[in-house]
Chain A
Amino acid sequence: MLSIVDIDYGTPRATSEKTVELQIDGRTLNVPEGTSVMRAAAQAGISIPKLCATDMLEAFGSCRLCLVEIEGRKGYPASCTTPVTAGMKVSTQTPKLAEIRRGVMELYISDHPLDCLTCPANGHCELQDMAGVVGLREVRYGYDGANHVHAQTKQGEANPLFVAKDESNPYFTFDPSKCIACSRCVRACDEVQGTFALTIQGRGFDSKVAASQDNRFLDSECVSCGACVQACPTATLSEKSLIDKGQAEHSVITTCAYCGVGCSFRAEMKGEEIVRMVPNKDGHANHGHSCVKGRFAIGYASHPDRINTPMIRTKISDPWQIVSWEVAFAHVASEFKRLQATYGKHAIGGITSSRCTNEETYLVQKLVRAGFGNNNVDTCARVCHSPTGYGLKATMGESAGTQDFDSIEQTDVVLVIGANTTDAHPVFGSQMKRRLRAGARLIVIDPRRIDLVRTPHIKADYHLKLKPGTNVAMLNTLAHVIVTEGLVDEAFVAQRCEPEAFAKWRTFVAQEKYSPEAMAAQTGVPAEAVRGAVRLYATGGNGAIYYGLGVTEHAQGSTAVMAIANLAMATGNIGREGVGVNPLRGQNNVQGSCDMGSFPHEFPGYRHVSDVATRELFEKAWGVPLLDEPGLRIPNMFEAALDGSFKGLYIEGEDIAQSDPDTQHVTAALSAMECIVVQDLFLNETAKYAHVFLPGSSFLEKDGTFTNAERRISRVGKVMVPKAGYADWEVTQELARAMGYPMNYGHASEIMDEIARLTPTFHGVSFDKIDRLGSIQWPCNDDHPEGTPVMHVGEFVRGKGRFMLTEYVPTSEKVNAEHPLILTTGRILSQYNVGAQTRRTANVMWHDEDRLEIHPHDAEERGINESDWVGITSRAGDTVLRAMISERMQPGVVYTTFHFPGSGANVITTENSDWATNCPEYKVTAVQVTRVSQPSEWQKRFRTFSSEQQALLDQSVDTLGQP
């Protein structure tokens, strides 16, 4: 079912700038060339009956309901498949058309159940609507003949055409008895999602929709994105939530709180209850598509595990005391003041979250800088994309990606390095796949054979299956080929880049040691494949690089980002549509949390704290003196906690005890602090070490904005009151007041107004403008009043592009006899980050435990069979997981996800980090893997500790005197 508020124009928008004049029902219209007659009519408010057409999909012409008459043409062409032509005269309503349409509907209804009143689609059923529109009054064929409707024939025999309802998917049902075989679901799976899981099986009257080889949906290749459910014109594919709750009565535009794609959604509501989430067709990041997380996995927001009252305790071995907000704020303020009085102003700090809104993040860093009086503020981007900020700023002058997602529509060669788009950024992954099916070429650089390498109708031209930890070696050897084979875009470089830095870089990468032949031993990739790939990137037309955490989460993460920027500049692939350097951000607001000044060394808008003019601007606005020296990064905070100088931490929406590397080091640091304040939806792993718990609000409970991987600022819309009474920004505001630093915002929009006032790249941003335009890509100011889809056009933000030297320095994390394998970590489609949200939804049906992927060769050597328990040991720690034997891995490399805390993936990872930003080296850990029969010692301790903490929560004392 489509959104309750969207208008369906039947066929996609035509993009031609040339217009065509025609007449429909006597009205003269001008529409872009390539528009269908159906769409031209719909845009003028003339509805032509239709069933198999919808504007998310290409025209199909199967239902024969949208027939029209065109002057001078024979017969009755389908308006969906007929493009407009100049001077065309179309009639959409004639007696003959009415007769044909009634005949078509009569046939449909003769094989359809007549349970409209109790049907979940009732109210928004397109079949029902069309029966009404065409004036169907009788079905002359009766209902007793061959049909797909009834399980049994009149004679009591099994009906061979009948297929029972498939309820295997946790979020939607498939009821073939209501199917009209319009193919919209099949086409949505093909065209929109690109999974090709559905098909029409059989011919003629036997035709039916089937998932994979006539499997249940859950057992098929279906990835549960829901595009088919959205496309279905009847109740054949229906959300279970719609079946339970009935039709929504209003719709609110908001932005998904999962990954960095930042899909726009319509939350379809009944009062304060969500009936379903429907991706917004007008959404600029997702154009009406979504994945299983954004559309379906929102149950965590109303999960019973949520804690909706503040709690405090003196020691982490004490039961929690439930207290009022006032008591909690006063307690935190008094503790933080005590710590500063005892240990110094710098003894406390704060951590902002990429899951919170821009406004909330901004307030936390403001509280730290202005209220705490130090710069000890950091954000979880530290552990994911901090190298992106560093590397892109150094080379091009701005800490952000250069393009919008739609830029890929103009891309000829897609180069993906260290990004698993179909799992981690699924909606953009679908857009990428669409472009690849349309003919763009593909280079994948990844140690694993990710799905994109070979997926229906797509095959990478090159998969450079490098050894983990050799990204910089690989990028340098690509650069070597560009320089030595004359593939440099000399005109671009001469005009746009610093000549001295370029000359130095050219000499540097031309060194023989970086030739593909010399580097093959390091990277494990044959020289010919390297040369072929780079020739394709440099000469294949518009080349665009997409990268993710497989680039940043390395000891040389920042070097690799700069090497990527070097490649794009050297080949002139910057500053126009179809090209660029595109970091795919992990969490929904990674870009935003960085923009908002969450890093200890810079104010909002990436301005260093030592910059006098900026500091004075903020001092004046905030009314307090501000420090001109950087504060502590998250790993520095841990070190300082362990040496006794750092004692208090305010953590908003972040779970460092699970997400940060070397868990035992993190928990030791947390245990060394005296006042840890966690603001979150759940008692997460970090909260088990906390002294104060402040209940957070989900994205459904507040207003604000998120900024996605394209720098796109989109609105988060409040659809229900916060369960604990306060939106997160209000909690920070109250905390600031209690600390003696007044903040007085009445609405989140006022915070954005302040951000806009103080940040040049945000000068033109306001909630009103975002609501008016749908979304805005910063920079948005007087020069770019409606935002900036493509950056560095004509000139780099820093003026001239700067080539940086990128020496390959092998990581110190090396395999040896004791630890002969390399462990690398990543994500899976159905789960999100630490899993705090998705583990509390039915998404666990796809992934209910983290497994260790291991190559058959390595498994055989160790006597490991599928699903065996295996111990994984690194120099940092050990854990136990079940094995999954997989040829996606290369021999010598093992892989796991980190979505479940008990898996202890980060007990294994080490303290190694990026030289520039301390982003952890999650992707390279030397390990040994052996068959075992019991959990690791850490896991046993973890389970004991977790159950103790659960008991302390269960024993919590209610000081509010409520029954």
Chain B
Amino acid sequence: MTFFSNIWRNEKSREIIVQIIVLFFLGWFISWLVMNVNANFKALGKDISFEFLFIPAGYDINQYLIEYNNRDSHLRAGIVGLLNTGLVAFFGIILATVLGFSLGIIRLSKNWLASKIAYWYIEFSRNVPILLHILLWHGIIINTLPHPKKAISLGDVTFLSNRGFYIPKPLTENGIELVYLFTVIGVIFAVLFAKYCKRKQDLTGVQYPVFWINFTVILSFPLIAFFLSGMPISFEIPALKGFNFRGGMHMSPELAALTFALGIYTAAFIAEIVRAGILAIDKGQREAAESIGLKASKVMNLVILPQARRVIIPPLTSQYLNLTKNSSLAIAIGYMDLVATLGGISLNQTGREMETMLIVMLIYLSVSLTISAFMNWYNNKVKLVGR
């Protein structure tokens, strides 16, 4: 009796006991859930099997980044969908970041009009559900742009229609290797030059216009190689043939609508995060920077933003994750992402809802954890280093 009451009175052992009990019940609950699913599946005469992943999917997907036709397996259809999810998330994140950072800074601008416009933009975007954004953009594109036969033509090489945007597709020819080589050389030069200038500045305080020099180098090296090797790039111009345009590069209205909607919606949240990050920096920092004569842009780029970044990155990560997960709403407008392929048509054709949903969930989980891991790495890199 005294032994047990002693254990219970000891704070350390009591904590352990409570945790063991909680763990036991949690484990018991989960195993009950699994057993219940199993029992109910048995009662329904269903089994859990992943064999369907390897039989031909039988359906077509209108946008694929890797080769795909309807004889490929459900697994491959799922990968095609995953890559489409990745594509729209990638474009969306870039758009949201650029737009969000700009808006966040404009929102703090002393210019009354600019600040108010940013304010209204943010309030409108983030207070309208994302699904409506997607439907709105899709509706705008397919209802306001003309039919392919009356497509808006930009110099007869780029076309806008309600079937999407068509731009010329670059085709490489012999001699392109030289351009690649010069591109790599240009980049290596730029990196080394930036390092050299940094060291020089640390030692002597002399500043070079590093950005502009590197910009010119990276742009001009491949260009010079391009002309030297006899212009080894030609363009495939999209042309109206039958019902639609053929050739060229095609961005479907669904991809465009989804990218705009996700980017514009998430940008509003990012703008607020950026604003919060900037306001979190003590105003003494700004005053100190101004007092030593730094320009406004330098105050922002060298003093405020590097410190604000530490505050900004963790919530920014959540926004990237949200954007990626929100892309699953693609199904509303028929963009063939992971949910529409593996979690949609494959599910229907095979009837394996439990299996497909588990796979789709696991994939989203791993994608999110990957983004998270990357952002944590970046966060560690920019965090305040104690010296």
Q: Do A and B bind each other?
A: no
